């Protein structure tokens, strides 16, 4: 692949393998001056952007250099560096401006993916959206949904306008079906407009460098992206040995869950107790006391229980986030030492999460940064936990005061990446990277570099296409194309209220999908008493045992795919179009490739006992029937326990490996 730059008067022509692909001229760049106003409520943001001034950047001259070019303008210089398979574009002399507008060419057949973790779509051509880290599911959305369901209106296929969605994980990155990618180094809010057939509009709320890279295929594209944003290390070996069972409520319940798991042969490799640090019951549900110390009253003898579990090859996992409960000792210590994010009046900035306020540790304060990291080292790693959910990261307000004096509007998006970095350093500094896994839900550029695993957040406990089981499939796919190749979801979802409850069917369908992801992990949900749990019935127990055994049987295959991700940035969950240049492959968002050889088409419709599946042009074998297909649209039987899975004929040995565990 060869990129060449040539001057044409006051224009710059860009050639790829001797074919002209783009001309940079006076219409390409504009700059401006603007101001945002933000209104945050429970992590959801309403943003109003006022642009006071905007002007096109006219090119006065083009200077070709050995490894790039410089565009001379009346504002300053635009520097284009040729890095072999990508171009880096940066700006010198534009300090008085804080808005950058960019036009990139498009055509009517192009498909676009990325901008972070997207739950409602995968191909986002025709859409407009903000790149801004936020709470994905807000209280207003939940309230409207519950009211409609009480009134008898339950439409699982309904989608709201794309521009109304927010996401935990935003990233100024996209991948084009034309085999190029865009990635910006901005930390400010940015927006993508893919609603035009002839061009794409990109807007950044600062003037920052960006990259445009190319590849012969999509694996090469992913290598290029992850050279910029980073890659995840291999997962601990124990992660593949079955399922992580979620339980909470104290030591008695933990021991009971372990006993059930042993008796029913559930192939449990670990037990996740999110309330190890204490539990509070609110109007929203059973939540946690955010004080990152062992709650000895709720979990008596937990230290010895962990040692006993470890001796049997069973891990115990916990929970942490960047907040501090104002009623508890750690907040008192942090507040007295000045370790909390401040309000403008100098008080600790308290954020309401659901029904209670909490303070935030100020990561820009080096002492506070090390304080929370040492808490992780001492209270979690030394205590014996083998993993944890590193929750949140989306809530930094834009009107707070940071220790560093930085503008919080320019730090907000980076907050979850800094949070991941703290957790990662705690593992590295204790020599536990590779033994312990933490999983994050929020992210931005650099999160792929620091986090060891993503999970898809607080999905609804239903089959709704926008927030329920179906939504995690495009979410995993979009994370992969942004460079985060390891992700999974809560089995059965999380958000449950009133009539929004997890059924046995939903739990089992989610469980069988999770068996074909890198990590298989449960969650009791926000209101556990409303939800089907791993031990709710003999049917559920039997199903969970079968699926966990399948996940364990896939261990060598999954380990190889995870290793490949760590070396190349090609995710474990992959879009079909990565390897199949077919129109349907580019538009498919509810099927995925697990590694290179397994195609998974989860059942995403309540009550369904069969599934229509699109198979790319290849030789496929249906896992359960052994029937062979050569591509096209097929309909297969899909009773609970037989998720539609197809294996490439060239890897048919996988079928015997999987089926052996179902006997």
Closest CA to 483 of 210, 118, 204, 173: 173
On whether the CB atoms of residues 193 and 163 are closer than 8 A, the answer is no
SS3 351: strand
DSSP letters of 582-602?
A: -HHHHH--S-EEETTTEEE--
Six-digit token string for 327: 């009623």
φ, ψ of residue 35 in degrees (nearest 5)? -150, 135
Buried b (16+ CB within 10 A) or exposed e, 372-406: bbebbbebbbebbbbbbbbbbbbbbbbebbbbeee
Distance from C-alpha of 257 to C-alpha of 465, rounded to nearest angstrom: 32
Active site residue 18: no
Distance from C-alpha of 22 to C-alpha of 6, rounded to nearest angstrom: 11
Which residue is catalytic, options 458, 490, 524, 642?
Answer: 458
Distance from C-alpha of 460 to C-alpha of 525, rounded to nearest angstrom: 9
Residues whose CB falls within 8 Å of the CB of residue 472, separated by 6 or more in sequence, listed in order = 119, 456, 459, 489, 513
Which residue is catalytic, options 135, 205, 391, 597?
Answer: 391
On whether the CB atoms of residues 265 and 540 are closer than 8 A, the answer is no
Active site residue 581: no
Consecutive H or E run containing 14 = strand 11-16
Residue whose token pair is 């943003």: 47
> Pairing state of beta strands 77-82 and 454-455?
unpaired
Q: In angstroms, what is the C-alpha Rg of the chain?
A: 25
Distance from C-alpha of 464 to C-alpha of 452, rounded to nearest angstrom: 28
Distance from C-alpha of 331 to C-alpha of 497, rounded to nearest angstrom: 30
Residues 341/342/347/352 CA torsion (nearest 10 deg): -60
On whether the CB atoms of residues 415 and 360 are closer than 8 A, the answer is no
**What order do you get walking across the sheet with 350-352 strand by strand?**
323-325, 357-360, 350-352
On whether the CB atoms of residues 369 and 298 are closer than 8 A, the answer is no
Six-digit token string for 440: 């994050």
φ, ψ of residue 357 in degrees (nearest 5)? -85, 155
Closest CA to 407 of 36, 23, 26: 36
Q: Please, what is the Cα angle at 81 between 75 and 86, to 5 degrees?
A: 125
Q: Which segments of 353-431 does DSSP mark as H helices, in order?
A: 366-375, 408-411, 415-429
Consecutive H or E run containing 504 = helix 504-514
Active site residue 275: no
Which residue is catalytic, options 117, 121, 166, 394?
Answer: 394
Residue whose token pair is 């059973």: 286
Query: Which positions are annotated as active-site residues?
Result: 391, 394, 458
């Amino acid at each position: 692949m060869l990129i060449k730059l040539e001057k044409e008067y006051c224009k710059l022509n860009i050639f790829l393998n001797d074919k002209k692909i783009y001309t940079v001229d006076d219409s390409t760049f504009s700059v401006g001056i603007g101001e945002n106003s933000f209104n945050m409520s429970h992590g959801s943001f309403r943003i109003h952007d006022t642009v006071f001034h905007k002007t096109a950047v006219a090119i006065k001259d083009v200077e070709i250099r050995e490894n790039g070019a410089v565009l001379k303008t009346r504002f300053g210089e635009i520097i284009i560096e040729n890095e072999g398979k990508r171009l880096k574009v940066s700006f010198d002399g534009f300090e008085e401006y804080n808005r950058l507008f960019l036009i990139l060419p498009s055509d009517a057949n192009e498909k676009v993916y990325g901008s972070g973790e997207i739950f409602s779509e995968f191909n986002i051509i025709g859409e407009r959206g903000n790149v801004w880290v936020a709470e994905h599911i807000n209280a207003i959305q939940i309230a409207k949904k519950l009211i409609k369901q009480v009134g008898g209106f339950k439409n699982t296929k309904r989608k709201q306008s794309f521009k109304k969605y927010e996401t935990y994980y935003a990233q100024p990155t996209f991948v084009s079906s034309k085999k190029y990618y865009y990635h910006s180094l901005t930390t400010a809010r940015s927006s993508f407009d893919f609603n035009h057939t002839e061009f794409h509009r990109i807007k950044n709320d600062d003037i920052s460098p960006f990259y445009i890279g190319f590849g012969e295929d999509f694996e090469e594209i992913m290598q290029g992206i992850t050279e910029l944003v980073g890659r995840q290390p291999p997962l601990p070996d124990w992660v593949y040995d079955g399922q992580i069972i979620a339980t909470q409520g104290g030591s008695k319940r933990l021991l009971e869950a372990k006993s059930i798991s042993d008796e029913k042969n559930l192939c449990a490799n670990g037990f996740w107790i999110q309330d190890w640090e204490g539990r509070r019951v609110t109007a929203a549900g059973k939540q946690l006391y955010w004080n990152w110390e062992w709650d000895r009253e709720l979990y008596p003898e937990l230290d010895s229980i962990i040692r006993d579990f470890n001796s049997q090859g069973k891990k115990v996992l916990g929970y942490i986030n960047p907040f501090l409960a104002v009623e508890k000792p750690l907040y008192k210590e942090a507040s007295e030492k000045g370790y909390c994010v401040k309000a403008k009046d100098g008080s600790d900035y308290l954020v309401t999460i659901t029904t209670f306020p909490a303070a935030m540790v100020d990561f820009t304060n080096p002492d506070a940064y090390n304080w929370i990291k040492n808490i992780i080292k001492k209270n979690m790693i030394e205590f014996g936990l083998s993993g944890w959910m590193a929750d949140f990261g989306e809530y930094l307000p834009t009107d707070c005061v940071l220790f560093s004096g930085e503008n919080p509007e320019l730090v907000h998006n980076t907050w979850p990446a800094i949070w991941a970095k703290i957790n990662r350093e705690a593992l590295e500094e204790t020599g536990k990277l590779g033994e312990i896994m933490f999983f994050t839900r929020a992210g931005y550029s650099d999160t792929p570099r620091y986090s060891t695993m993503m999970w898809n957040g607080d999905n609804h406990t239903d089959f709704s296409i926008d927030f329920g089981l179906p939504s995690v499939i495009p979410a995993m796919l979009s994370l992969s194309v942004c460079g985060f190749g390891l992700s999974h979801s809560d089995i059965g979802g999380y958000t449950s209220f009133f009539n929004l409850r997890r059924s046995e069917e939903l739990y089992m369908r989610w469980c069988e999908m999770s068996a074909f992801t890198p990590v298989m992990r449960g969650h009791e949900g926000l209101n556990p008493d409303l939800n089907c749990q791993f031990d709710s019935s003999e049917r559920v127990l039997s199903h969970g045992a079968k699926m966990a055994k399948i996940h364990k049987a896939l261990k060598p295959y999954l380990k190889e795919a995870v290793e490949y991700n760590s070396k190349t940035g090609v995710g474990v969950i992959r879009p079909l179009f990565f390897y199949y240049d077919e129109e349907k492959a580019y538009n498919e968002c509810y099927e995925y490739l697990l590694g290179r050889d397994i195609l998974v088409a989860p059942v995403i419709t309540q009550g369904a006992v069969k599934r229509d599946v699109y198979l790319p042009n290849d030789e496929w074998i249906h896992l359960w029937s052994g029937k062979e297909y050569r591509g096209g649209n097929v309909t297969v039987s899909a009773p609970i326990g037989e998720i539609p899975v197809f294996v490439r004929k060239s890897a048919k040995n996988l079928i015997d490996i999987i089926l052996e565990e179902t006997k």
